[in-house]
Amino acid sequence: MEPNSNIYDLASDFALHIVYLYKSLSNDKHEYVMSKQLLRSGTSVGANVFEAKNAFSRDDFAYKMSISLKEAGESGFWIDLLHRASFLTDEEYNSLYQEWNHLYAVLVKIVKSTKPQIFKIENPSNSNQQQ
């Protein structure tokens, strides 16, 4: 069976796992700083994907998905740092990293396919040329 690639499901499942991880890290291991950063970035991925779902235009969709991608990138950093600081076991890290990596790859594909719309720049000199 092919892994789920519905970005809305992937992002909300990831956010939920991050919420559970935050609760565990703060309650059981008394780690508050890095886990709070991961909570913010990890849930922001889902929030921006949800906003993109209701975007006003294709450019708005592309912009919100690019923000989701940036937040996902930050989440990957915090996941890695929590593991390197021994707050995540190898098993926890591998599971979460695999989920994050799949989500990140889907977001990259979406952003790449919409990127031309984000960076549409009209050359102002073309419209002001005098002949």
Map out the domains of the chain with their CATH numbers: 7-114 (1.20.1440.60)
* Region of poorest pLDDT, from 20-34, 36-50, 109-123: 109-123
CA dist., res. 106 & res. 131, Å (int): 48
Contacts of 48 (CB under 8 A, 6+ apart): 64, 65, 67, 68, 71
**What's the pLDDT at 62?**
93
User: How do residues 67-114 score in pLDDT, each as one tens digit?
Assistant: 999 999 999 999 999 999 999 999 999 999 999 999 999 999 999 998
Per-residue pLDDT band for 28 (boundaries 50, 70, 90) equals: very high
CA dist., res. 111 & res. 119, Å (int): 11
> For 54, what's the count of Cα atoms within 13 Å in the CB-facing half-sphere?
5
Contacts of 71 (CB under 8 A, 6+ apart): 41, 42, 44, 45, 48
pTM summary value: 0.83
> For 127, what's the count of Cα atoms within 13 Å in the CB-facing half-sphere?
4
CA dist., res. 50 & res. 71, Å (int): 14
Higher pLDDT, 84 or 131: 84
Q: What mean pLDDT is predicted for residues 38-65?
A: 95
**What's the pLDDT at 102?**
97
**What's the pLDDT at 123?**
47
